[in-house]
Structure 1
Amino acid sequence: MAAFFLGLNANAARMDMVDVSNNNGYMSTAEYVSMRNEFGVKAVTVKISEGGTYKDPYAASSIANVQAAGMYINGYHFARYATKTQAIAEADFAGKTAKAVGLPVGAVLATDVEAEEQNNQSKATNDRNNAAFMQEIQKFGYRADIYTSGSWANNKMTIKDRTGWIAAYPYVVSGKNWYSTNHAWQWSSTAKFRISYGGFDVSQLNSNYYTAGQKSTVKPTNKAAVKANNKHIYKPSNSAKWVKESKTYTLKTAVKLHTGASTSSDTITILTAGTTVKTDQAIIQGGYRWVRQPRFNGYGYLATGPSSNTLEYVKSGTTHTYYTVKYGDSWWAIAQRNGLSMTTLASQNGKSIYTIIYPGQRLVVR
């Protein structure tokens, strides 16, 4: 591949950790060595299991090859639990599977909490279930943590400071570490590496939790590639401008109306789900797409969602863009092609990433 992605200049988030799963297929030791030497990746977190029956078929080879490349290794389990009993059962399944595929004692085995099962639970229930999973997983000698999205953290579940691995994908990755008080911030799901195919999830580490309390001396060696690709990928952070937008939105969930286009600005009111909002301008800044609502005494500002998914909180009155499923397509392939996460693509079509799609189906991609 002639072109590849890097995030190692002074203004961009670091590529400290990569997470891989069956979506990435078989990953060789050479690929991990390239990530380590050319891109500065220190740690890899491998999908181990999902729910109560699924075992990732590439977990064992990835763990062995990451270790052969001299990198820190961790694992994660994609949670499907909705009750405490299910959480404990899934933790037992994940722990036994991790042992079988060679995840070393002392590694992190995080619970990935972002599925429909948890979306349908209260915050208190999710907190109880997550605590049960993490307590059980420690019995296998693994350290516990929670992975979830920024929009779920402290809304759908509690993520305390100095814990957590949070996913949020800004429009421009520069200047600000969004989740500096958490262990890790996953800031992209589409990173590319020189000798590896496809897009990867990459994270910046804010503590040594995912490197087993040890200090890594790994540094990138391909400085020219770093410079060239940062120039290609990143846009100036001051490029955001207000543009005219006369649209009507209907809120899918409750959203705060702010005095300015910033999450730190004062809250005027909380608009309930189903509220209709008419806008006159829009802007992408601070990791969100903001719209301006004319009011009788000025303006109100609300985020339509993170800039990587600008209609997460609202339904647009405008016409959608559709994609027709072809033979060989998958949720992952369609999501990557349209700059979305699989979860987002599925949810905006009223499905989950485990729903079977068929050639000829039309999916909303914008």
Structure 2
Amino acid sequence: MIRVKLKSKLALTGAATMAALFLGLNANAARMDMVDVSNNNGYMSTAEYVSMRNEFGVKAVTVKISEGGTYKDPYAASNIANVQAAGMYINGYHFARYATKTQAIAEADFAGKAAKAAGLPIGAVLATDVEAEEQNNQSKATNDRNNATFMKEIQKFGYRSDIYTSGSWANNKMTIKAKTGWIAAYPYVVSGKNWYSTNHAWQWSSTAKFRISYGGFDVSQLNSNYYTAGQKSTVKPTNKGAVKANNQKANKNTSKPAALAKWVKESKTYTLKTAVKLRAGASTSSNTIIVLPAGTTVKTDQAIIQGGYRWVRQPRFNGFGYLATGPASNTLEYVKSGVTHTYYTVKYGDSWWTIAQRNGLNMTTLASQNGKTIYTTIYPGQRLVVR
């Protein structure tokens, strides 16, 4: 959702990945029933939503409302208004940062008020997007308690509740019961299998393309009417032929699946020869927990090669941290210094989103690799690392 990304966004479960390797292509397998959008997608016009509806069969749109306890998505109000003008169902989501019950209540109150102000209609779903490092560091029981608290509180604003998370977190980091939940898991090849059919929705791609809209979008198949209930939609797709053809195209993925990476035991002590980012996951798009300075000693328990890097896992008092020890092609026990970077000079009118899109990056990744967040102001003439 947030594209880390995150919008990562979320990793495919190991079992599901293995299943995808053996399942053939069925172009009619997954439908583009719902799209979720946020500030990452920029301003979205009514015409774009009409195109999604008429040419791709999109029924519902879920827009980002807020994040944590302070951030309100600046495009929430325009997205809600334009989706409604296009005649589609509208819902919202809040990117959760809570780690305690008190924080969950505070974030629900913040999200509910933000949704009201943005015009999200009563009866819409206001889901909690649970995929951040704050929840990764909690027990399943704690996450279950916090999620239940958030959802109970959000209902006081007249909204229906649900949980969005990844397939690898569902019933692992938190409980997702049947007939609830919006689950993200991206197969290499969409097959005849309807994943997560007992849940409300399955998000099967984060890179879907629409004819008159720029960039990639998260798309989901709806397995129930939960995200289309309680709101009136009188407008239907007008081009059934285009809907069928475009859905077939979206389902196709010609890229070959990579070999499945596996964690292996590795009890080693590393002394860092340069500063290294300790991350919440084994990915360059994962959030940075802390920057470890040169000279730091790191004790690890596991290692893996994936995403072009060799990663090691560091046990911590409240979970694990992950750091890259170098490119996957070498076995150096430290991160090389003196890496050559490619820079981009910020121009007038640029934003984190436009620069990230221009360079094929996730917006959060672009900001983090420059030691900043997407909320940091950038100025013309400023140099940013893009490679």
TM-score w.r.t. structure 2 length? 0.62
302 and 11 in structure 1: CA distance in 2 versus 1, 3 angstrom threshold: farther
Quote how far apart the aligned CAs of 1:304 are. 18
Q: Deviations over 1:242-301 (max 9, x none)?
A: 999999999999999999999999999999999999999999999999999999999999
Quote how far apart the aligned CAs of 1:347 are. 10
278 and 176 in structure 1: CA distance in 2 versus 1, 3 angstrom threshold: farther
Rounded to whole Å, the distance in 2 between the matches of 1:295 and 1:84 is 23
Structure 1: runs of 5+ lacking an equivalent: none
Partner of 1:189: 206
307 and 61 in structure 1: CA distance in 2 versus 1, 3 angstrom threshold: farther
Q: Deviations over 1:119-161 (max 9, x none)?
A: 1111111111111100100000000000001111111111011
Worse overlay, 86-95 or 217-226 = 217-226
267 and 232 in structure 1: CA distance in 2 versus 1, 3 angstrom threshold: closer
Q: Deviations over 1:25-60 (max 9, x none)?
A: 111111111111111000000100000010000000
Partner SS, residue 19 of structure 2: coil
Contact 1:19 1:45 in 2 (8 A): yes
Q: Deviations over 1:289-319 (max 9, x none)?
A: 9999999999999999999999999999999
What is the aligned length?
366
Rounded to whole Å, the distance in 1 between the matches of 2:353 and 2:83 is 23
Q: Does 1:287 align with 2:308?
A: yes
Quote how far apart the aligned CAs of 1:338 are. 9.7
Partner SS, residue 37 of structure 1: helix
Worse overlay, 206-215 or 265-274 = 265-274
Q: Deviations over 1:221-261 (max 9, x none)?
A: 44554565566869999999999999999999999999999
60 and 235 in structure 1: CA distance in 2 versus 1, 3 angstrom threshold: same
Quote how far apart the aligned CAs of 1:364 are. 13
Quote how far apart the aligned CAs of 1:11 are. 2.8
Worse overlay, 106-115 or 337-346 = 337-346
Structure 2: runs of 5+ lacking an equivalent: 1-17
TM-score w.r.t. structure 1 length? 0.65
Matches within 5 A, 1:228-243: 229=246
174 and 135 in structure 1: CA distance in 2 versus 1, 3 angstrom threshold: same
Contact 1:166 1:184 in 2 (8 A): yes
158 and 253 in structure 1: CA distance in 2 versus 1, 3 angstrom threshold: farther
Q: What fraction of aligned residue pairs are identical, expressed as a percent?
A: 92
Rounded to whole Å, the distance in 1 between the matches of 2:154 and 2:67 is 14
> Aligned Cα RMSD in Å?
9.1
Quote how far apart the aligned CAs of 1:177 are. 1.2
Contact 1:49 1:94 in 2 (8 A): yes
Rounded to whole Å, the distance in 2 between the matches of 1:173 and 1:58 is 31
Contact 2:263 2:304 in 1 (8 A): yes
Quote how far apart the aligned CAs of 1:116 are. 0.7
Rounded to whole Å, the distance in 2 between the matches of 1:227 and 1:272 is 54
Contact 2:29 2:194 in 1 (8 A): no
Quote how far apart the aligned CAs of 1:61 are. 0.5
250 and 136 in structure 1: CA distance in 2 versus 1, 3 angstrom threshold: farther
Contact 1:12 1:175 in 2 (8 A): yes
Worse overlay, 281-290 or 155-164 = 281-290
251 and 344 in structure 1: CA distance in 2 versus 1, 3 angstrom threshold: farther
Rounded to whole Å, the distance in 1 between the matches of 2:379 and 2:259 is 43
Contact 1:171 1:287 in 2 (8 A): no
Greater RCO, 1 or 2 (C-alpha within 8 Å, sep 6+): 2
Q: Does 1:161 align with 2:161?
A: no
Rounded to whole Å, the distance in 2 between the matches of 1:7 and 1:285 is 25
Partner SS, residue 20 of structure 2: coil
158 and 37 in structure 1: CA distance in 2 versus 1, 3 angstrom threshold: same
Query: After TM superposition, what 4+ stretches of structure 1 lie above 3 angstroms from structure 2?
Result: 1-10, 213-366
355 and 84 in structure 1: CA distance in 2 versus 1, 3 angstrom threshold: farther
